[in-house]
Chains A and B, each alone.
Chain A
Amino acid sequence: MKNGTNPEADRDQKICLSFNVEGGNFLAAGEASIRLKHTLQHIGYPASLIRRVAVAAYEAEMNIIIHADSGVLKAEVTPEAVTIWAEDKGPGIEDIGLAMQEGYSTAPNYIREMGFGAGMGLPNIKRCADIFEIETHVGVGTKIRIVIFNKQKTN
Chain B
Amino acid sequence: MEKYCSIFLDETRCTGCTNCIKRCPTEAIRVREGKAKIFPELCINCSECVRICPNRAPVPQADSKEILSNYRYKIALPDPAIFAQFKTKYTPHQILAAIAAVGFDGVYEVARAADEVSVAIREFIADHKGEGPWISSSCPAVVHLIQLRFPTLTEQILPILSPVEIAARRAKEEAALQANIPRQEIGCFYLTPCPAQVAAIRSPYFLEKSNVDGALAISSLYSELRVKLAKLEKQEESPVKATSLGLAWGRIGGQTKAVQADNFLTLDGVFNLLELLEEIELDRFNNNVDFLECQNCQGGCVGGIFTAENPFVARVTLRRMTNKLPAKFEPGHEEKIRQYYREGFYNAEKKVEPYCIMSLDQDISKAIYMVEQSEKILKHLPGLDCGACGSPTCRTLAEDIVRGLASETDCMFILREKVQSLAEQMLSLALKVPPVTVVQRQIMKTQQEVLELAKRIPPPLARREPKKED
| Contact of A58 with B by CB under 8 A | yes
Between-chain CB contacts (< 8 Å), 14 pairs: A12-B372, A28-B468, A31-B468, A32-B468, A41-B151, A42-B371, A43-B368, A48-B152, A50-B151, A50-B152, A54-B282, A115-B284, A124-B283, A154-B363
Q: Tell me the dominant secondary structure on chain B's binding face.
A: helix
B365 in complex: contacting residue of A21, A72, A79, CB < 8 Å: A79
Q: Are B360 and A42 in contact (CB under 8 A)?
A: yes
Enumerate chain B residues within 8 angstroms of A153, measured Cβ to Cβ. Answer: 364
Rounded to whole angstroms, the CA-CA distance of A19 and B468 in the bound complex is 5
Q: Tell me which of B123-131, B351-359, B421-429 binds A.
A: B351-359
Q: Are A51 and B281 in contact (CB under 8 A)?
A: yes
Residue in contact with B364 in the complex, picked from A31, A33, A54, A154, CB distance below 8 Å: A154
Asked if A47 is at the interface of the complex by the 8 Å CB criterion, the answer is yes
Q: What is the distance, in angstroms, from B470's C-beta to the closest C-beta of chain A?
A: 5
Task: Tell me the A residues contacting B by CB distance below 8 Å.
Answer: 8, 11-15, 17-21, 28, 30-34, 37, 39, 41-45, 47-48, 50-51, 54-55, 58, 72, 77-79, 115, 124, 150, 153-155
Q: Are A47 and B152 within 8 A (Cβ)? A: yes
Interface residues on B, range: 20 to 34
- The answer to whether B208 has its CB under 8 Å from any CB of chain A is no
* CB <8 Å contact, A20 and B368: no
Alpha-carbon gap, A17 to B354, bound state (A): 25
- Contact with A55, one of B282, B356, B367, B468 (Cβ below 8 angstroms): B282
Main secondary structure of the interface of A (DSSP, over half): mixed
CB distance from B232 to the nearest CB of A (A): 53
In the complex, the answer to whether B356 meets A44 with C-beta atoms within 8 Å is yes
Residue of A nearest to B373 (CB): A11
The answer, yes or no, to whether B361 is at the interface (CB within 8 Å) is yes
Q: Which of B316-372 contact A (CB under 8 A)?
A: 354, 356, 358-372
Q: Nearest chain A CB to B1's CB is how many angstroms away?
A: 15
Encode contact with A along B429-470: 1 for CB under 8 Å, 0 otherwise: 000000000000000000000000000000000000001111
The answer to whether A42 touches B354 (Cβ under 8 A) is no
Distance (Å) between the CB of A143 and the closest chain B CB?
17
User: Which residue of A has the minimal Cβ distance to B151?
Assistant: A47
Known pairs A20-B470, A47-B354, A54-B152 / 14 extra A-B pairs, C-beta < 8 Å: A13-B365, A19-B469, A19-B470, A32-B468, A37-B281, A42-B358, A42-B374, A43-B368, A50-B151, A58-B283, A79-B368, A153-B364, A154-B363, A155-B363
Closest to A73 in B: B468
Of A14, A44, A48, A72, the contact of B359 (CB 8 Å cutoff):
A44
- B399 within 8 A of partner (CB): yes
Q: Contact check: which of A31, A43, A55 meets B371 at CB < 8 Å?
A: A43
Residues on the A chain within 8 Å of B363, using CB = 154-155
Q: Which chain B positions have C-beta within 8 A of A28?
A: 468
State whether the Cβ of B154 lies closer than 8 Å to any Cβ in chain A.
yes
